Amino acid sequence: MHRRTMISSIAGAGLMMPGMLSELIHAEDNPLAPKDPHFTPKAKRVIFLFMTGGVSHVDTFDHKPELNARHDQERRARQFYKGSGWRFRPRGKSGIEISDLFPHIGEVADELTVVNSMKNINGDHFGATIGIHTGSATFNRPSFGSWVSYGLGTVNQNLPSFVVMSKGLPYGGGQNWGSDFIPVSHQGTRLVPGDEPIRNIGPQPSSRKHQKTELDLVDYFNKLHLRGRESDSNLKSRIRSFETAAGMQLEAPEALDLSRESEQTLKLYGLEEGQTDSFAWQCLVARRMAERGVRFIELVDGDTALDFNWDAHANISKYPQLARNVDKPIAGLIKDLKQRGMLDETLVVFTTEFGRGPCVPSAGTDGRGHWANAYSSWIAGGGIKGGVVYGRTDDFGMEVVDDECSPHDFHATLLHCLGIDHTRLTYRHAGRDYRLTDVHGHVINDILN
């Protein structure tokens, strides 16, 4: 039989129906199918808020009165103390001190565990950024989101398990949401805020029925080609990408359509009607993605190409504008999740790659240098205590003095909330078992409910 005749016969006989396809060829297990966690989880999903550039801890979440008192005093040659330019206030019933840069986040202080004892494994933007994303500051490794996707799968097969919303690129670019040696099905799918977050997402001019017939035919031949090549994870993921893309045509446009959101909801996030390129848009879409079963959602604030991010070597005076862009949307996201009964099952994580130095080379310097020895992050939601400050730095925010938290400890704790034992989440590669936390990491039990 000629190839053309065979294709015509198959299509004409209606053999592209999924049930009959499964009889023609043994389909591989779906890598994104939901998987059981190691133990009963408190959280089902993660919304990961990443602030590109290194947010200054001593200006945001780690109040240092002694540093402020010694502002512009010389510590030693070419090193002067620099106090914060923003007032800190006790917030909520818990009294967590948060600076005036984040008054709206201050309103939800009782939902947060603020970790003031973070210490990264690298003081360079690139290494520190991939370090907090992948657990490795030196080698390509799968991202945190990819590990979560690999470990738990997703409950909605028409949307990716791991979505990244990033108007610009953070340091390290797409490596921060790459899957590396884990199958490509688990890498992050990037949405670019704007008029077309996902290109070519609209259906083809032909009818849904015709498109499905075409895709089923492609799927049939792809799976024939896979025979004898079952160990090729890239080929499997490429085949899976057609299925995901087709599913996204069905559900992504609706998930990204905010026209049915109430005026009250838009106001909660600080989102203007019709606006599609703000961090507020990212936060509201994140809630909608979470509702629709997406397992891991990362929102990136800042653009390294435009030099408009939290990197403040010589212009920390830009912080008020940067903070305004994210403060109300993030607080709105937490309030919205709580109102909808979703916060208890959602981990909301706010982090950056490192902090900013408490000292500067000359008095009056408008900026701070890199500081990986100490910085702040916070977590809210599923399995996390609210109204808690964990860890402590010295009087100047230079060094961690109590309860140091590494990226490995941070990841181990978040995985625990998702019902995953970080020592058992492994992937065999190049002759050994790898894990997100490498050979490190301890769960911070003191912040868990």
Half-sphere exposure of 243 (CA within 13 A, CB side): 17
CB 101 within 8 A of CB 93: no
pLDDT digits (tens, 9 = 90+) for 367-383: 999 999 999 999 999 99
Rounded mean pLDDT, 74-84: 95
At residue 27, does pLDDT exceed 60?
no
Number of helical H runs and strand E runs in the chain: 12, 19
CATH class in words for 31-197+259-447: alpha beta
pLDDT of 216 reads 74
Rounded to 5°, angle at Cα 106 from 101 and 110: 155
Residue 29 banded pLDDT, cuts 50, 70, 90? low
pLDDT of 237 reads 62
pLDDT winner (highest mean) among 16-20, 23-27, 153-157, 370-374:
370-374
Q: Domain-by-domain residue ranges, the chain?
A: 1-30+199-255, 31-197+259-447
pLDDT digits (tens, 9 = 90+) for 143-155: 999 999 999 999 9
Residue 208 banded pLDDT, cuts 50, 70, 90? low
Whole-angstrom CA distances from 166 to 43, 48, 194 are 24, 12, 10
pLDDT digits (tens, 9 = 90+) for 282-323: 999 999 999 999 999 999 999 888 778 999 998 999 999 999
pLDDT of 441 reads 98
At residue 23, does pLDDT exceed 60?
no
At residue 336, does pLDDT exceed 90?
yes
Give dist(CA 439, CA 154) in Å, integer.
27
Whole-angstrom CA distances from 411 to 25, 204, 249, 441 are 40, 41, 33, 8
- Locus of tokens 């230079």: 398
Rounded mean pLDDT, 231-255: 71
CB within 8 Å of 122: residues ≥ 6 apart: 128, 131, 137, 138, 372
Whole-angstrom CA distances from 396 to 22, 98, 367, 370, 392 are 64, 16, 16, 15, 11
| Nearest CA-CA partner of 39 in 424, 433, 447, 442 | 424
Residue 211 banded pLDDT, cuts 50, 70, 90? low
Q: Which amino acid is at 2?
A: H
pLDDT of 425 reads 98
Residue 220 banded pLDDT, cuts 50, 70, 90? confident
Tell me the pTM.
0.89
Mean pLDDT in the chain?
Answer: 90
pLDDT of 296 reads 98
Residue 243 banded pLDDT, cuts 50, 70, 90? low
pLDDT digits (tens, 9 = 90+) for 399-422: 999 999 999 999 999 999 999 999
CB within 8 Å of 336: residues ≥ 6 apart: 265, 268, 269, 284, 287
Work out the percent of the chain whose per-residue pLDDT is above 70.
86
Residue 26 banded pLDDT, cuts 50, 70, 90? very low
Other C-beta atoms closer than 10 Å to the C-beta of 76 total 7
Give dist(CA 146, CA 188) in Å, integer.
7
Rounded mean pLDDT, 184-188: 94
